[in-house]
Amino acid sequence: MNIVVCLKQILDPEMPSRDFRIDAATREADRGTAGLVMNIFCANALETALQFREQHGGKITVVAFGTSSAEEILRKALALRVDTAVLVQHDFAQRPNPWVAARVLAATIRKLGDFDIILTGRESGDWGDGQTGGLLAEEFSWPCVSFADQLNTDATKPGLVKIRRQTDQGSETVEANVPLVITVTNNDQNVPRIAKTRDVMQAFRQPLTNWSLADIGLDKQSLEECLTGTEVVELTIPIKQAHCELVTGETLEERIAGLAQRIVAVVQSA
């Protein structure tokens, strides 16, 4: 089966909160000294694809829509021996919203050929919209199964995949016809593997397709309609309480009551 995995490069989510800064004008996070990494759920999706290919064969194509720095994560994917890597570059000041991303990814995938499965992460660690996968399914009018953590197929049932997905109550197993979109969440089975050093070294010599928006038949204007639907009007850093409020009270009973109230207030809004 032919799989395409969509990868997103994001600001390192583990950067210390203290170092996190915002550019109020562009309403974007300021990169500062933070690194750029592959979104963890995208990495889980890639790992899912690699395990699937190990067991059932097929080809893996990875696509990233981002600035030129996104080449780094594609090289990481090449170090894991994916078959094809494609970067669609943009130079937008503000990060593209999921609707734009879905439109671009769809156009890219169409240009690349026919695929059976599109894998994406369930959401990204930066803006965390969690929409791109579903929107991509809509671009193709395909089904979408989200929060998947296991993917399988049976040689006796060609054209079908078996997917286990996480739900609020536990999990579900569904059987679906290809082609479809699957968004992947993490579990202890799809922990991203590390690349062998030789593969890392050869990854830089591998071909990497580099497209602009024009190459996939899109332009900023045609994307505008996607852009104006949702707009970020404000981005702020909430002031975190640095100090701990110790519950006071004359008697132990009072203090316990005070603590209970604080706890219940948080629990009820969870």
Angstrom distance (rounded) from CA 41 to CA 123 = 7
Report yes or no: 181 and 136 within 8 Å, Cβ to Cβ: yes
Per CB under 8 A, does 197 bind another protein? yes
Geometric angle at alpha carbon 111, from 106 and 116, rounded to 5°? 65
Smaller CB separation from another protein, 83 or 138: 138
CA separation for the pair 65, 68 (Å, rounded)? 9
Identity of the residue, 205 or 214, whose beta carbon is nearer to another protein in the bound complex: 205
Q: Which of 54, 91, 114, 234 binds another protein (CB under 8 A)?
A: 234
- Which neighbouring-strand residues pair with 30? 21
24 binds another protein (CB under 8 A): no
What value does the CA radius of gyration of the chain take, rounded to a whole number of Å? 22
Q: Does 54 bind another protein (CB under 8 A)?
A: no
Among 33, 94, 189, 222, binds another protein (CB under 8 A): 33
Stretch that binds another protein, among 54-62, 106-114, 174-182, 209-217 (CB under 8 A): 174-182
Residue 6 binds another protein (CB under 8 A): no
Task: Compute CA distances 63 → 23, 83, 87, whole Å.
Answer: 28, 11, 6
The answer to whether residue 30 forms part of the interface with another protein (CB under 8 A) is no
Binding mask 79-118 vs another protein (x if CB under 8 A, - otherwise)? -------------------xx-------------------
- Residue 177 binding another protein, by CB under 8 A: yes
153 is a contact residue toward another protein (CB under 8 A): no
Note whether 148 binds another protein by CB under 8 A: no
Sign of the Cα torsion 90, 92, 97, 100 reads negative
Question: SS3 of 185, please?
Answer: coil
How far is the C-alpha of 9 from the C-alpha of 74, rounded, in Å? 9
| 31 touches another protein by CB under 8 A | no
Short-list 71, 182, 47, CA closest to 118: 182
Between 34 and 218, CB nearer to another protein: 34
Task: Establish if 266 lies at the interface with another protein (CB under 8 A).
Answer: yes
Taking phi over 0 as left and psi of -120 to 50 as alpha, with beta for the rest, 167 belongs to beta
State which residue, 157 or 220, has the beta carbon closest to another protein.
157
